[in-house]
Amino acid sequence: MQLLVGSLDQGRWRARSFQNTPARFDGRPELVESLTQELRAAMGR
């Protein structure tokens, strides 16, 4: 899972924070499906 926080600074976007954390749902397929649906909804799919 990734998180990127940006801000607009004098007309240019700049990354202010970046976090990269593995999403581990070993043995919990319902959590994999839940996250997939959440991400698809956020993307408008």
pLDDT for residue 45: 74
For 32-45, the pLDDT digits (tens) are: 899 889 989 998 87
Instruction: With H, G, I as helix, E, B as strand and everything else as coil, classify residue 16.
Output: strand
Q: What's the average model confidence in pLDDT over 24-39?
A: 90
Please say if the pLDDT value at position 21 is more than 90: no
d(CA 36, CA 45): 11
Q: Is the pLDDT of residue 26 over 80?
A: yes
Strand partners for 12: 9
Query: Domain map of the chain by residue range?
Result: 2-42
- The overall average pLDDT reported for the chain is 91
Contact yes or no for 35/25 (Cβ under 8 A):
yes
Cα–Cα distance between 15 and 4 in angstroms, integer? 7
Instruction: Tell me the average pLDDT across 10-35.
Output: 91
